[in-house]
Structure formats: C-alpha cells, structure tokens
C-alpha cells in the first residue's frame, strides 16, 4: 500500500505539471496555475499518507515483537 501511495504522489505531481503545460500552450495561464497547484496539493497529501502508512507499519512490527516477547515470558501450563 505504501508503494502505491508513493507512486500516486509522483503521478499527481507529474500529471499536474503536464496538464499545466498543456493548458499554458492552449493559452490559459490561470489553468496552468490551477493544474500545478492541484498537482502539488495531491502530491503532498499522498506523500503524507505514505509517511503515515510507513509509521503504522513500524508500530505494527513493534507491537508484534512485544506480543511475541510477552508470550515467551509467560509460563506454559
């Protein structure tokens, strides 16, 4: 999931730039700014989501490690 959101972030960044350039060629400076801004906003959101997913994976691994340690310390009945 982390790789997918990372890829989507880059796709949003590049897509916004490409659509902005195409809009500029069509004569719309306002559309250029809009597409680049939209691409940047989407990229920031998706890269932030990637970071959050990475931290959640680390926390999940730590929790599983702690559970494994706790189970080893408990005496078997």
Rounded-to-integer distance, Cα 51 and Cα 53, Å? 5
Position 75 in a domain:
no
Is the model more confident about 4 or about 53?
53
Structural domain of 13 = 2-69
Position 44 in a domain:
yes
Q: Residue 23 — pLDDT band, cuts 50, 70, 90?
A: confident
Q: pTM of the prediction?
A: 0.61
Q: Residue 30 — pLDDT band, cuts 50, 70, 90?
A: confident
* pLDDT tens-digit readout, 5-22: 777 778 877 887 787 788
Q: How many CA atoms lie within 13 A of 20 on its CB side?
A: 16
User: Shortest CA distance to 45 belongs to which of 18, 3, 9?
Assistant: 9
Position 8 in a domain:
yes
């Amino acid at each position: 999931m982390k790789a997918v959101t990372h890829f989507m972030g880059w796709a949003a960044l590049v897509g916004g730039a490409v659509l902005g350039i195409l809009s500029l060629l069509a004569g719309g400076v306002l559309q250029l700014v809009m597409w680049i801004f939209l691409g940047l906003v989407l990229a920031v959101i998706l890269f932030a989501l990637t970071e959050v997913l990475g931290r959640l994976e680390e926390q999940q691994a730590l929790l599983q490690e702690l559970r494994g340690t706790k189970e080893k310390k408990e005496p078997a009945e």
